[in-house]
Chains A and B, each alone.
Chain A
Amino acid sequence: MIHSLFLINHSGDIFLEKHWKSVISRSVCDYFFEAKEKAVEPENVPPVLQTPHHYLISIYRGKLFFLSVIQTEVPPLFVIEFLHRVADTIQDYFGECSEGVIKDNVVTVYELLEEMLDNGFPLATESNVLKEMIRPPTILRSVVNTLTGGSNVGDTLPTGQLSNVPWRRAGVKYTNNEAYFDVIEEIDAILDKSGTTVFAEIQGVIEACVRLTGMPDLTLSFMNPRLLDDVSFHPCVRFKRWEAERVLSFIPPDGNFTLMNYHVSSQNLVAIPVYVKQSISFFETGPCGRLDITIGPKQTMGKTVENMMVTIHMPKAVLSANLTATQGNYTYDIATKVLVWDIGKLNPQKLPNLRGSLSIQAGTPKPEENPSLNIDLKIQQVAISGLKVSRLDMYGEKYKPFKGVKYLTKAGKFQVRT
């Protein structure tokens, strides 16, 4: 199982180590540094590394490496999932997952790590349970603690730990009872030069924010559940009911949580909300090239496309860009060679256009590779797959809660090839 954990920052300093079994010398990380050196980009460091006596499994989150050391055969996914869970927990506790925040809360992080894993076996990873054992820092609490000498470690067994619903603590009370659900869909797509869809799919997620008193039992049903053939659920969802009736029946955790993830595959037709007309060309002679991009709405379900943004990783030889945008602003970062065009709202009457010339370092050959366009966008109040929630019912409690459902469509990995 998981033997040790090292947190390593961007520049390769180990700033926290935790051992759950015997202490392993931090020199074991040298193998990792070697691989990091070789990979050049931090994103490209292989997640599983073999060393003569150990295995190093790492993730890269928020410019930090979470590097775990293992000695025996352990499912690597188990380790990777756990490491992400550690990062999630830190994010959840302190609002962000960064070196600064971890250093500021090093003892709490250390206590958390001890609570999350015992002898390499996960102990408590549910945020609800952890928060009862080790309370997250708030300004009020630290003031109270200094005054009263109290501590931020819970001294009773968390109630959720062993019940049938480990994700929910008992005795929850609210004056305003509310349950909100956000249906968020991300479009992953690759379009080719001519605008034809090479590949498209939708990754959907239902994020819930439930603040309800007592032990409510909720049932969420959809207008068109048939859309969902590939789903994964929060453990609270009763799988049998889903199989039989296609409804989500569950006792919710308290607070924010991800109710379900779903995936609408490339077999179904995925609506592409915008089209992109582009041409980027470099001339054989003379140190320059041309760029011309126009974006227009396609299948937007009658809603406005917002937060449009185009990002292009230019070839290394491109020195600068001299462009005019009919809408929004563009920036070109010479160091990273990234061109960003921030468009904003998409106006169907007046299509935004970006055109102009690119200058190339003199003496370098014409760039071989074609830069891809990365598209960002948002459409409020619509789930592009067409998924709709029909109703939410509550059983087990008497009060009437506030209920609400919001829809949002975003671009995920949306790429246009040139």
Chain B
Amino acid sequence: MTDSKYFTTTKKGEIFELKAELNSDKKEKKKEAVKKVIASMTVGKDVSALFPDVVNCMQTDNLELKKLVYLYLMNYAKSQPDMAIMAVNTFVKDCEDPNPLIRALAVRTMGCIRVDKITEYLCEPLRKCLKDEDPYVRKTAAVCVAKLHDINAQLVEDQGFLDTLKDLISDSNPMVVANAVAALSEIAESHPNSNLLDLNPQTINKLLTALNECTEWGQIFILDCLANYTPRDDRESQSICERVTPRLSHANSAVVLSAVKVLMKFMEMLPKDLDYYGTLLKKLAPPLVTLLSAEPELQYVALRNINLIVQRRPEILKHEMKVFFVKYNDPIYVKLEKLDIMIRLASQANIAQVLAELKEYATEVDVDFVRKAVRAIGRCAIKVEQSAERCVSTLLDLIQTKVNYVVQEAIVVIKDIFRKYPNKYESVIATLCENLDSLDEPEARAAMIWIVGEYAERIDNADELLESFLEGFHDESTQVQLQLLTAIVKLFLKKPTETQELVQQVLSLATQDSDNPDLRDRGYIYWRLLSTDPVAAKEVVLAEKPLISEETDLIEPTLLEELICHIGTLASVYHKPPSAFVEGSRGVQHKRLPGSAGSGDSVDSPDTASAAGVSEAPPAVIPSQGDLLGDLLNLDLTPPTATGPPPAPSSGLQMGAMDLLGGGLDSLMGDESEPLGGDLGGSPALGAGFGAPPAAMPASFNAPVSGGLDDLFDLGGGVGMPMGSYSPPKTVWLPAMKAKGLEISGTFARRAGVIQMEMTLTNKAMSVMTDFAIQFNRNSFGLAPAGPLQILTPLSPNQSIEAALPLSTVGPVMKMEPLTNLQVAVKNNIDVFYFSCQYPISMLFVEDGKMERQVFLATWKDIPNDNESQFQIKDCHLNSDAASNKLQGSNVFTIAKRTVEGQDMLYQSMKLTNGIWVLAELRVQTGNPNYTVSLKCRAPEVSQCVFQSYEAMLKN
């Protein structure tokens, strides 16, 4: 007799029949009937009509029957909330039962009944069960809190269950601890800022103790929770690592991977020269390898994570290449991942092995896999220079097979190899051209066209080849069209006499007959370039291309750091930050690796926010000088009227602006430009960059702060301080060589609340210099001249003049790299000169930067630990009071001082001109010249600069 008999009565009167059986007097018959009901339910049949009859069976001594009824209730209570109330009494009674199994069962089931009315009755029994003498009941109750929170979060908070749950972390039974952690973690996920899991060394210690004794699942919860902790120092970090390492030998792969996460994160804090660091690295490899001998599904997740780990710490698995070799009966998803990791681990030492394997794979059956294997060969060539030759010959062998998709992939990667090693392997072009006709995929066609265009001078019939593509121009994909356009223009520039007709044809196809704006724009640019100045066109289109590198497929470092913190999670499988895809993650906190100075964007940083706002403009195609130029063009060089009457030669200044435009553009077209033609992807921004006439963007200097930014900036000013702030010595900013004889050296100082740019201008040329004017590019903190540059007398040869320029902080803002970089343009009667300099961030510390003690305390706690960065200042021989005084001079205010075991802790605050507060803890030990500064700020990217200023201020 098996359960399949429960399915046999599928006649019309089934429900009716069951109803009768459920109300039978015979226990056995009742039980059988309930089993039939459950069986129907498991396959998705609707048996909710039997609700009252099933609930009637609930009051029984037979545990099996009770469990079955509970199973039914959980499924259907939601659809029959009023009926479900009938069950409440039995639940409450069962919660008092002497048998702990029944108490636990009752509280567990009650939590699963997602009906508001029932949850009200649940609170009292739950409170009792959370304090039950039996740990089995307590651990079940802990989970029940999470269930209840999911149904009614407010109720859980009001009833104080969260606090009880937190107390359970200190429970004597490890299973209870594990479940409490699991429940809290789940609740915390929906309340990212609730600070539910307040981790401190004491709780960490408790968790580590429980870790050794609880079940495998509990270990996963605890390890995942540990991973959120940031140890205070490397010693604590090491001791946690030591206690976590045994988990690497666990049979459950999820435990292993969670342990790997904790170790990878805490390892960041260990000094690299420590013996233990090396030991730990060695210990990490074997468990990772073992994961690969598990079931394919586990392997897949493991491989996705290993992919991250090898990017972060390639040394761990560098000798384990062979375990990633593909077996022919691996599932395709495992094969593709293994291949990816093989390339990441490829190096000169093992490249021969890898290539032999890849060639083997390229003859497999699975098309996707074969394609990826061929690409992999190309990536190896780019990554390991010594192997390039062998890779190319392998690819040629593969092309000889004439298997269509192999040939196409090979051509795509050979194009990349050409870009990495120009003028080295062009001998293969002939072979490639033979396969021209078989190419039917856009990417391969585009690659081939690029090759033909790029090497047109070596291909005798290049014009014929390209012409053959041109016939079906409008049926091609955009990628191919753009490439064809560029290739033909290249061809024309190389062989102008024979191809004039061809270029005419393609230009008119691209500009007149196409609806695609990218294509049209590119067509027009070429057209104008060719018609106005063919020499310039040649310089632009045939310019030297930057070499490509293998770094292109690496995950961006900040994302990688975040993903390392999420090893073992869905985020690590998708290689996306959790915030990008987890539904219902209301403001997930970005996790950062400890110890490394984070330069990432935190959402609440006003600095970044404003920078992002400004940089919405299309990214400039032209780097460095062009950037500066573009921005300067927008600004009128006329001094602001607000600061008094303008000095005499204002019309001259206008002229200067025009000069600047002309000269700048010349240089841009001449030598500094990026190759337009070589850009394979085609950049739509190009059109905008060129097309917009500079005059069309008159940004008035008088209202420089764009809308929306105003509130972010605090006007500097404030009360003047008698003490002078730290000012670095003058350095040469603009050497005479670069500026037709004008030398500028200078520094920044903050005097009486005003930031000053102090410069010495020296004329080393033979002629008199006049008509000085200055302008800044947009910068991180909106620094701008508050008045004109006051150099009223002409500067004769060999004469020097001192000039102090007051600065305001209300200029336009753009985030610079480094943050305190300032790009300056100085003009005189001879020319316009550009230079950039860096100002100490202490210039921006305002006089009212002293925080209230209470506020300081709250703010310190409020800023997430991830934003804290720690620095060492070496060889500083001040005592704490002297240091405090010195810093006060630069508007770093000491708010409190505490002495613990001969160590002075100074708590300091400072405020930047744009309202960003920086909090600092300075630790000074008597007799020890090394200070430790911990900086906390909502915009952690300033920390590095602040630290540099600290060092400068203290050592000055």
Secondary structure of the A contact surface, majority rule: mixed
User: B256 at interface (Cβ–Cβ under 8 A)?
Assistant: yes
B217 & A201 in contact (Cβ 8 Å cutoff): no
B43 & A22 in contact (Cβ 8 Å cutoff): no
Chain A nearest Cβ from B379, distance in angstroms? 21
CA distance A370 to B253 in the complex (A): 35
Closest to B213 in A: A164
Chain A nearest Cβ from B282, distance in angstroms? 10
Contacts of B360 in A (CB 8 A): 192, 417
Closest to A20 in B: B112
| Chain B CB within 10 Å, residue with most, of A19, A76, A235 | A76
CA distance A16 to B189 in the complex (A): 30
Closest to A100 in B: B4
A265 & B224 in contact (Cβ 8 Å cutoff): no
Contacts of A351 in B (CB 8 A): none
Contacts of A16 in B (CB 8 A): 42-43
Knowing A155-B99, A190-B325, say if A122 contacts B258 (CB, 8 Å).
no
User: B329 at interface (Cβ–Cβ under 8 A)?
Assistant: yes
B300 & A23 in contact (Cβ 8 Å cutoff): no
Q: Choose among A21, A108, A232, A372 the residue that contacts B287 (Cβ–Cβ < 8 A).
A: A232
B254 & A77 in contact (Cβ 8 Å cutoff): yes
User: B293 at interface (Cβ–Cβ under 8 A)?
Assistant: yes
B585 & A73 in contact (Cβ 8 Å cutoff): yes
User: B534 at interface (Cβ–Cβ under 8 A)?
Assistant: no
The total of interchain contacts (Cβ-Cβ below 8 angstroms) comes to 254
A258 & B251 in contact (Cβ 8 Å cutoff): yes
User: A223 at interface (Cβ–Cβ under 8 A)?
Assistant: no
B20-79 CB contacts (< 8 Å) to partner A: 27-28, 31, 35, 38-39, 42-44, 62-65, 67-68, 71, 75, 78
CA distance A23 to B113 in the complex (A): 11
Chain B nearest Cβ from A232, distance in angstroms? 5
Contacts of A315 in B (CB 8 A): 365
Closest to B37 in A: A107
A75 & B257 in contact (Cβ 8 Å cutoff): yes
Knowing A125-B217, A151-B63, say if A21 contacts B150 (CB, 8 Å).
yes
Knowing A73-B189, A73-B582, say if A369 contacts B257 (CB, 8 Å).
no
Contacts of A80 in B (CB 8 A): 254, 295, 297-298, 301
Instruction: Encode contact with B along A175-212: 1 for CB under 8 Å, 0 otherwise.
Output: 00000000000001010100000110101000000000
Interface-facing stretch out of B564-572, B717-725, B932-940: B564-572
User: B573 at interface (Cβ–Cβ under 8 A)?
Assistant: yes
A263 & B250 in contact (Cβ 8 Å cutoff): no
Interface size class of B (residues with CB under 8 A): 35 or more
Instruction: Encode contact with B along A144-163: 1 for CB under 8 Å, 0 otherwise.
Output: 00000101111111000110
Contacts of A190 in B (CB 8 A): 325, 327
A119 & B147 in contact (Cβ 8 Å cutoff): yes
Q: How many residues of A contact B (CB 8 A)?
A: 101
B574 & A50 in contact (Cβ 8 Å cutoff): yes
Interface-facing stretch out of A110-118, A281-289, A390-398: A110-118
Interface-facing stretch out of A51-59, A297-305, A340-348: A51-59
User: A381 at interface (Cβ–Cβ under 8 A)?
Assistant: no
Q: Choose among A55, A58, A110, A265 the residue that contacts B42 (Cβ–Cβ < 8 A).
A: A110
A105 & B3 in contact (Cβ 8 Å cutoff): yes
CA distance A80 to B253 in the complex (A): 9
Closest to B76 in A: A23
A59 & B293 in contact (Cβ 8 Å cutoff): no
Interface-facing stretch out of B10-18, B135-143, B656-664, B788-796: B135-143
Instruction: Encode contact with B along A47-86: 1 for CB under 8 Å, 0 otherwise.
Output: 1101001010111100000000001111111101110100
Chain A nearest Cβ from B183, distance in angstroms? 8
User: B904 at interface (Cβ–Cβ under 8 A)?
Assistant: no
Contacts of A153 in B (CB 8 A): 63-64, 67
User: A1 at interface (Cβ–Cβ under 8 A)?
Assistant: yes
Chain B nearest Cβ from A243, distance in angstroms? 8
B249 & A75 in contact (Cβ 8 Å cutoff): no
User: A333 at interface (Cβ–Cβ under 8 A)?
Assistant: no
A-B contacts, 30 listed (Cβ < 8 Å): A17-B42, A23-B75, A43-B296, A47-B301, A48-B570, A72-B186, A76-B569, A78-B217, A80-B301, A103-B3, A106-B6, A107-B39, A108-B3, A122-B217, A149-B28, A151-B62, A156-B99, A156-B101, A188-B293, A190-B325, A198-B357, A201-B322, A230-B287, A235-B251, A240-B246, A242-B249, A243-B246, A266-B322, A313-B328, A370-B363
* B interface residues with partner A (beta carbon < 8 Å): 1-4, 6-7, 27-28, 31, 35, 38-39, 42-44, 62-65, 67-68, 71, 75, 78, 99-101, 108, 111-112, 114, 134-136, 140, 143-144, 146-147, 150, 173, 175, 179, 182-183, 186, 189, 213, 215-217, 220, 224, 246, 249-254, 256-258, 286-287, 289-290, 293, 295-298, 300-302, 319-320, 322-323, 325, 327-329, 331-333, 356-357, 360, 363-365, 401, 403, 568-571, 573-574, 578, 581-585
Given contacts A80-B295, A198-B322, 14 further A-B contacts (CB under 8 A): A14-B44, A41-B331, A84-B298, A107-B35, A122-B217, A125-B215, A156-B101, A162-B135, A166-B215, A201-B293, A230-B290, A232-B256, A369-B363, A370-B363
